[in-house]
Amino acid sequence: MIADTTKLTLYSLMILGLWFLSACRSQPKEKTQPDTFLARAAQPVSHNAARRERVQTDNLIFIKYLDDGDYPEFVAKKGDNTVSFINKTDTARNINHGDSVQVNWKPGSVSMPGDNGVATPARLLVSVRKTGDGPVTKFRKAYGKVVKYTWAADEDYSSSYLDELYLLVEDYLANTRSPLLQHVINKRIQLTYSIESNTRNDERYTMIGIAPEGPNGSNVVQWLYIRKADSQIFEYNLAEDNLIPFK
């Protein structure tokens, strides 16, 4: 009887020992250093950082390249809204005013000189693709000539301003409603224009005289006034002596 009791006691102790050993082994070890990879993966991604990386696509109408600021810009239009992109991508400059384009861009920022390096939100151009010809491209293909121009010797125009005027005159010719100019363009007669400064009602303009070349010289058939403040084009109405906004 005593032997049986002893055996039972030993058996109980053995079961208790096995349970204690199992409990010790299942106890998790304390980590002194976090798992770096898992810790990084578990961190939430910044909403702003994710937004900066997300490339967006828009279908727009190209207006112009703008290079006289701190950063080169690609300016386009979406409906009635003008949008500008920081342009470090489209260096070929082969898109003309009025062309349809597909623009890929992403939100970002640029540091403006003089602002102590403060970051300013900006649209960053990623890529651009022309999707359709605008009036200027169609004009160039149909007309096939370079428009000539002259200016008075006492006028001091920079080459960049002369280039800007050329694009404005070209845009006018591509969209003109003048039957005479449309005839000249369709017949591919050489066009030329004169450039001079003018002041009207206390506003400064550049006056453009467009003329087709002929055997007896060039006679101006259309005067334009281009306001220097904003490059708005006006047709001059000789009969009423007034300016009519173009477009």
**Residue 208 forms beta bridges with which residues?**
195, 224
How far apart are the C-alpha atoms of 125 and 57, rounded to whole Å?
10
Are 245 and 234 in contact, with CB atoms under 8 Å apart? yes
Give residue 46's pLDDT.
45
For the domain made up of 48-132, the CATH class stated in words is mainly beta
Q: From the CB of residue 199, how many other CB atoms can be counted at a distance below 10 Å?
A: 10
Give residue 116's pLDDT.
67
How far apart are the C-alpha atoms of 180 and 42, rounded to whole Å?
71
Closest Cα to residue 209, out of 242, 183, 235, 232?
235
Give residue 96's pLDDT.
95
Phi, psi of 40 (to 5 degrees): -65, -45
Give residue 53's pLDDT.
66
Taking each helix axis as running N to C, give the angle between helix 135-143 and helix 179-186, from 0 to 180 degrees, rounded to the nearest 10.
50
Give residue 220's pLDDT.
94
Closest Cα to residue 225, out of 185, 169, 184?
169
Are 195 and 151 in contact, with CB atoms under 8 Å apart? yes
Same fold, 48-132 and 136-245: no
Query: Would you write out the chain's pLDDT as a tens digit for each of its 247 residues?
Result: 444 444 444 444 454 454 444 544 544 444 444 333 223 333 344 445 545 568 999 999 999 998 887 889 999 999 999 999 999 888 778 899 999 999 999 999 888 776 666 788 999 999 999 999 999 999 999 999 999 999 988 888 999 899 999 999 999 999 999 999 999 999 999 999 999 999 999 999 999 999 999 877 789 999 999 999 999 999 999 999 999 999 8
CATH code matching the domain that covers 136-245, chosen among 1.10.3470, 3.10.450, 3.30.2290, 3.40.50: 3.10.450
Give the domain ranges of the chain: 48-132, 136-245
Global pTM reads 0.72
How far apart are the C-alpha atoms of 244 and 247, rounded to whole Å?
9
